[in-house]
Amino acid sequence: MEQKKLSVFSPPERVRLRKCAVIGCGNVGATVAYTLMQTGWFSEMVLIDIDTKKAEGEASDLAHGLPFHSPMDIYAGDYPDLSECGLIIITAGANQQRGETRMDLLRTNARIFQSIVEKITRYNRDAILLVVTNPVDVLTRVAYQVSGYPACRVIGSGTVLDTARLKQLVGSYLGVDSRNVHSFIIGEHGDSELVVWSSANVSGVDLHRYCDSCGRGYDKTVLDSLFREARDSAYQIIDAKGATYYAIAESVKRIVAAIVRDENTILPVSALVDGHYGLEDVFMSLPCILNRSGVKQVLEIPLNEEEENRLHRSARTLKGAFEELSEQPVH
C-alpha cells in the first residue's frame, strides 16, 4: 500500500516557538517545566492547571531559579494566554495508580482531555501539540480529532522513553555506553509495544555480533527479559514511589529540542500512521523525522515477519480502544 505523507506546515508568523505552555502542573508537568526552564530555548512559559494556586506556586518556584539560568518570563495563566504559543505540552490528567494499566486510565483522561483541547483551540489553532498524558497514543488521537489540527502538528511522546529505558538496560548488560546502543521500541506506549531486535546495533555493529565479541553471547532470552523490564518499569516505579516524572521529562526535553532547534532528528514519537506497513488511521509510535513543523515524515524501517505481526497486533489494540471510546462519547 502506498504511504500517505503528512502535510508539512511551517509555523505561522502569529505563533512564536520561543513561547511555550505546559498544561497540567502535577509531578510530570512541573518536572517538564523545570527541565525546559534550564535549557534557555524559551523566552516565555505559561503554566496552566485546574488548580490555579498550584500553577501559581510552581511558576513562582521556577522563577526564583531564573537568576541561575537565561532570562525568561514564567507565569501561571489561563487558556487565553495560549495565544502566540508555538508549542503546547499537555500533561494534565488523572495519575496512573498502583496496579492500574495505562489503558485503564482511558475513559477518565479522555473526558479531561476533550475539555482541554476544546479550550486550546479557542485561542490557538497554529501551535504544535505535544501530548504526554497516558494512555498517550489514544489521547493523541483524541487531540487530533477534537482540535482539527493537521496531523503533523499533533504529536505524542510515544515510545521515546521506552526506547531510552531499553538502551540503558542493554548498555548496562553489555558494559557499554547506553548512547551507543541503537534500537527502537515501537507500537503502543504500553503493554502491546515491541522491540525491533532485527536491526539493533551498537554503534553500527550488529547486536548479535557485538554480544559475541564482548563475550556475552547473543542470548535472546536475556535480551527479551531486558525488553520486558523496560516495558514494565513504569509499573515498578509507580509501585515504589507513586509516579514517574524525571525520565519522561528528559524525553519531552529531547522531543522539544528536535522541534525548536529544527533538527530533523529521528525519534519514535506517536504520530498518525496511515499507509505504513499496511496500517491505516492509527496513532502509534514509529521512528519519525521531527523539526520545527512537527512530524516531517513517518519512517518505515525494516521489520522481520514476527515484528511486523506484533506491530499489527499493537495497532489493533489501539484502534480497538479508540473505537470503544468513540462508541461511548466522553462528553
Mode of pairing for the β-strands spanning 44-48 and 128-131: unpaired
For 277-321, the three-class secondary structure string (H helix, E strand, C coil) is: HHCCCEEEECCEEEECCEEEEECCCCCCHHHHHHHHHHHHHHHHH
Nearest to residue 77, comparing CAs of 39, 22, 133, 26?
22
Environment class of 94 (CB within 10 Å of its CB; exposed 0-12, middle 13-18, buried 19+): middle
**Distance from C-alpha of 223 to C-alpha of 239, rounded to nearest angstrom:** 24
Q: Would you tell me how many other CB atoms lie within 10 Å of the CB of residue 284? A: 34
Question: Which amino acid is residue 75, in one-letter code?
Answer: Y
Residue in 64, 182, 189, 208 annotated catalytic: 189
Tell me the CB-side half-sphere exposure of residue 244, using CA atoms within 13 A: 22
Reading the block at residue 291, the C-alpha cell is: 523539526
Q: For residue 179, how many other CB atoms are within 10 A of its CB?
A: 11
Q: Is 208 a catalytic residue?
A: no
C-alpha count within 13 angstroms, C-beta hemisphere, residue 79: 13
Could you count the other beta carbons within 10 Å of the beta carbon of residue 71? 8
**Residues assigned a catalytic role:** 189
